[in-house]
Structure 1
Amino acid sequence: MPFFQKSVVAALLFISALFALAAAVPVEGARFEARTNTGQATYYIPGLGACGKTSQSTDYVVGVSKLLYDTYPGHTANPNNNPICGHKIQANYAGKSVTAIVVDRCEGCARNDLDFSPSAFQALAPLSAGRLNGVTWSWA
């Protein structure tokens, strides 16, 4: 095979490999939405959150780990524009469940931990529990 034909074949193989890699990359958000996560849950008194919205203790809202917040597909340097904002999370603990809206970023949380408003936390356990281990959650 002449050199020119070998170069064309090599280029086509390279382009095919790039398309195969692109097809293997998940759709935006899919890597977070397709699985059940397990972590700890705590509560905080909400106010102005990282998403730029002000929430009350009676709102069913949640902050997610900075590790998740800062790597969510499409995030930018402006945390108010993070596409994770407004997504709903359904959390389960001891046979109870709650759905809360992401409005904040939790600085001290491990990757799969959640930080709820008091009312959302109380849907799972009394505030006196303080910290819940083994909370499962997924995107609602």
Structure 2
Amino acid sequence: MFVGTYYTPGLGACGVTNGEADYIVAVSRTLYDTYPGATPNPNLNPICGKKLRATYNGRSVVVAVEDKCWDCAGTYDLDFTIAAMEQLVDNPVAVGRIYGVEWSWI
């Protein structure tokens, strides 16, 4: 189980500009940079656009990878947009971090 946080997106590592209402996620820089096929150009990383399902306390959300999280301590921690994190917890701004997130590629 892993940690989930939220962030305000913009121009992500995948080269796409996203907003708070988008269902996207940033994966840890470790996972992003070591994903099979990763190149020195982060915009060309094959992890970009890959979808995953994250689950927390019986609630789940499907998100696409569009960014890398510089502050994620664990290799499999995730940084969600507010809209995506709202699918997992009520009032994510007040909650801040959620411990025990499970996720898998879809």
Question: Do they superpose with TM above 0.5?
Answer: yes
Deviation at 1:60, TM superposition (A): 0.2
Select which of 108, 119, 127 maps to 2:83: 119
Identical amino acids, percent of aligned pairs: 53
Match of 1:99 in 2: 62
Report deviation, 1:123. 0.4
What residue is the counterpart of 1:53 in the other structure? 16
Deviant stretches of 4+, over 6 Å: none
Query: CA-atom RMSD, angstroms?
Result: 0.6
Describe the SS at the equivalent of 1:57: coil
- Distance apart, 1:137 and its partner CA: 0.2
Distance, in Å, in 2 between the alignment partners of 1:39 and 1:51 is: 23
Number of aligned pairs? 103
Runs (5+) with no aligned partner, structure 1: 1-37
Matches of 1:137 and 1:80, distance apart in 2: 23
Q: State the shift of 1:108 in Å.
A: 1.2
Partner SS, residue 70 of structure 1: helix
Aligned counterpart, 1:72? 35
1:132 is the counterpart of 2:98: yes
Alpha-carbon distance in 2 for matches of 1:45, 1:101 = 15
Kindly indicate whether structure 1 or structure 2 has the higher relative contact order, using CA contacts under 8 Å at least 6 residues apart: 2
